[in-house]
Structures are given as C-alpha cells and as structure tokens.
Structure 1
Amino acid sequence: MAGADDIYLLRPLNEHAPTAEDKRHSAELEEVLRANDLYESLDDALLREDVLGLFYQLVQTWVKGVCRKKGFNAEDARAHVYTFGSYRLGVHGPGESAARHGVCSQFLRCTGGKPIDWALLFTPVPFFTQHTFYIQASRASRRERTKGEVFL
C-alpha cells in the first residue's frame, strides 16, 4: 500500500543543497526571466493565491457532494490540487493560463481491478476564468490506495 511518501508528486527531485554553480545559473535565469517580464507582480501573485484557494474549495465541495450522492462518508473525503508547469515554477507572464492538476482516489471512477487506460488517467476538464485567471484543469487517478482511501 502506498503512503504519502511514495507518491512521486510529493517527493523532491533532488534533496542536495544547491552548489555555487547552481546558484549562479539560477541568478542568471532569474535575470533573464525578469528582463522578459516573466515574473508576476506581488498583487498578481496574491490574486492567484486567492483564485487557487477558491478552486481548491470548489474541488473539495465537488468531491464531498459526489461521496454523499454515492452513499459514502463525505466528512473525510478530499482531493489534492497541484500546480504544474510555469505556475509551479513561478515563471509565467501576466495573464497566462493557470494549469492545475487534481488528484483523487480513482477520481470517482470504478475500475473493477482492471488496469487504467492512460487516456482516462489524465482527463481534461473544461476551462474557466475567475478574476481574470484562465484556469486549465486536468484530473488524474492513482492505482495505489493509501490508508483509509475508498475507490469511488
């Protein structure tokens, strides 16, 4: 049974401290990104956090609603929302779309123990705009269960 430490999205790619060369490369990259207006303003960053919080709450409400509808205990039901791409790295221009990735146990799909088709693993969800942020979402399933998970 996979635990939270086994989920690749939660593990760092590298746990070593940055070298002097890494820091130099990062500083050079940051300089180029700033020169090309690829960093958002502080106001935009705060607004993005507010929109992400709203999106997170929408996902949680949806998951709990589906659990109730299917007769499961909805109190402990939850999903995870991950940013990825340029938003994950914090290097995107003003007004760019926000790519989001939601993870929930089998993302409310019954598989009956059959292997999951990759086409079903990452399923596009319609886009929407909130406070000028264009939100692009996808949904994904995991084959491994963690303690207390119920596949819906």
Structure 2
Amino acid sequence: MIPILLAALVVVASIIVHLGAMFLLVELDHKIPPITLRNHRWRLLLSMPLVTLLMIFAHLIEVALWAGIYVWEGTIVKPHDAFYFAFVNYTTLGYGDILPATHSRLMAPITAADGILMFGWTTAILIQTVSLHLRYEEHRHRQ
C-alpha cells in the first residue's frame, strides 16, 4: 500500500512540475516583444524550440522524481539505474533489463501511466502553440 501512496504523490508532483512549466511558458510568452503580423513566423520559429526544450526539461524533472522514489523506497539501489529504470517506464519502452523489487512492482506501471499523461499534456501544449500561430497566419492572409 505504501508504494502506491508514494506513486500517487509522485503523480501529483508531476502535475505540479508540468503546471509550473506551463505557467513559465505563459510568462516567457509575455516577455517576447509584441508580435506584428509580419514577424509572426519568426515568433513561431523562436517559440517552438523554447516550448519543446522547456517541456523536455519538465519531463526530466519528473523522471528524476520517480528515480528518487525508487531509490528511497529501495526498489532500485543505484541512483543511475533508478533514473534509467524510471525513464524506461515513464516513456513506456519497458525494456525489462532492470526489474523492481517485488514489494513495489506496482509503481512501474503507475510511472508509465504518469508518463503517458504528461506526454499527452505536452503534446496538447505544442499543438496549442502551433495552433495560435496558425490562427495569426490565417488572419494575416485574410487581410
């Protein structure tokens, strides 16, 4: 029962990390000089790599949280193995070359479920970023 509660806490922490990254993106967007319709493509060219890198960084933090719980719980002993194991599960690769301790096996599929949800959220953020820019482009062509 304890591993499942710990996993639930990491899922909540992942949500908080993702929210923080999203709020940071909004903040950074306000700091980019106001757009004119003529330079909007440059804004997209700048914002997509920024959004992508920031969200990848958020995912790395989330994987590190999982790795920390795996080490703390005794599921995986070595920190680098725990990070690798967490990453393989978070991305749903599931190689199976490192196996968790028996008492906390349920944490691995929860890690995978968390990764699926967070990658879905990231995909939505990337689609929204492109969508906003395409709307501006469409508006520009109508004028």
Q: Smaller-chain TM-score range? A: 0.3 to 0.5
Greater share of residues in strand: 1
- TM-score of the pair, normalised by structure 1: 0.31
Structure of greater relative contact order (alpha carbons < 8 Å, 6+ residues apart)? 2
Greater share of residues in helix: 2
- TM-score of the pair, normalised by structure 2: 0.32
